[in-house]
Amino acid sequence: MKQNINTLEEALVLELEALYQAEAKLREGLKKMTTIIQSPKLQDILKRYLESCDHKRTKVDRVFSYLNREPRSCHTHVVDEFINELYDRLKFAQEPMVQNHVLVSELLRINRYKASAYEASLHYAETLGLETAADLLQTIVHWEKSDERELLELFFHEWSEENVLL
For each of the domains in the chain, give its residue range(s) and CATH number, in order of start: 8-163 (1.20.1260.10)
More confident residue, 166 or 119: 119
Cα separation, 161 vs 97, in Å, equals 11
Please determine, for residue 164, whether its predicted confidence score (pLDDT) is greater than 60. no
> Among residues 1, 5, 2, 4, which one has the least CA distance to residue 124?
5
Q: What is the pLDDT of residue 166?
A: 45
Please determine, for residue 161, whether its predicted confidence score (pLDDT) is greater than 60. no
Cα separation, 17 vs 27, in Å, equals 16
Per residue in 101-117, pLDDT (tens digit) is 888 999 999 999 999 99
- pTM of the entire structure? 0.89
Instruction: Tell me the average pLDDT across 28-43.
Output: 83
Per residue in 74-86, pLDDT (tens digit) is 777 899 999 999 9
Q: What is the pLDDT of residue 23?
A: 94
Cα separation, 132 vs 125, in Å, equals 9
Instruction: Tell me the average pLDDT across 119-125.
Output: 97
Question: For every residue of 2-46, which 3-state class applies, written as one string?
Answer: CCCCCCHHHHHHHHHHHHHHHHHHHHHHHHHHHHCCCCHHHHHHH
Q: What is the pLDDT of residue 100?
A: 86
